[in-house]
Amino acid sequence: MKLIEIQELLEAEVLTGKYDPEKEIQIGCSSDLMSEILAFGKPGSILLTSLKNIQVINTANVADIKAVCFVMGKIPDENIINLAKKNDIVVLITKLTTFESCGRLYKNGLKSCSYFNLDK
C-alpha cells in the first residue's frame, strides 16, 4: 500500500514535511507497548500507536519502521518530530481510534506483521 493511500484512509496529516507519497508500506503493526513492537514489528512497516513520547521514535528507528501514526488526535511534541525527521521516519496523526485506524488499513489490504515468520 502506498503511503499516500494510508494517509487518505486514515484522514491523516503528515507532520514531518516532504515525503514520498509513493513509498510502499506493506505491513502494519499497532501497540502501546514498545517491547511488543520491538519483538514483532517488521522492517519497513507502519506503526500505529496512542503512546506519545520520544521512545516511540527510538523504537521505530531501531526496528527499521518507516512510518509512525499517532492515533486518537494525539499531537507529538516538536522534539519527537525532529527526531523522526533526523531518522527519516514519516510521522502522521489521525483523529481516528486505534481500532478504526487498524481496521481501515487491514480492510484495504495492509498486512499484519504476524503474516510473516517470527524467527530472527
Provide the binding-site residues for another protein, judged by CB under 8 A.
18-20, 22-24, 32-36, 38-39, 43, 49, 51, 53-56, 58-59, 61-64, 87, 120
Query: Hey, what's the cell of 93?
Result: 496523526
Tell the smallest beta-carbon distance from residue 93 to another protein (Å): 17
Query: Hey, what's the cell of 118?
Result: 517470527
Decide whether 8 or 77 has the Cβ nearer to another protein. Answer: 77
Query: How far is the CA of 92 from the CAs of 15, 26, 115, 117, 120, in angstroms?
Result: 6, 17, 24, 27, 29
Q: What is the rounded CA–CA span in Å between residue 4 and residue 49?
A: 19
Decide whether 84 or 104 has the Cβ nearer to another protein. Answer: 84
Q: Which residues share a beta bridge with 70?
A: 49, 93
Tell the smallest beta-carbon distance from residue 87 to another protein (Å): 7
Tell the smallest beta-carbon distance from residue 27 to another protein (Å): 14
Decide whether 58 or 108 has the Cβ nearer to another protein. Answer: 58
Decide whether 61 or 112 has the Cβ nearer to another protein. Answer: 61
Burial of 112 from C-beta contacts in 10 A (0-12 / 13-18 / 19+): middle
Tell the smallest beta-carbon distance from residue 110 to another protein (Å): 18
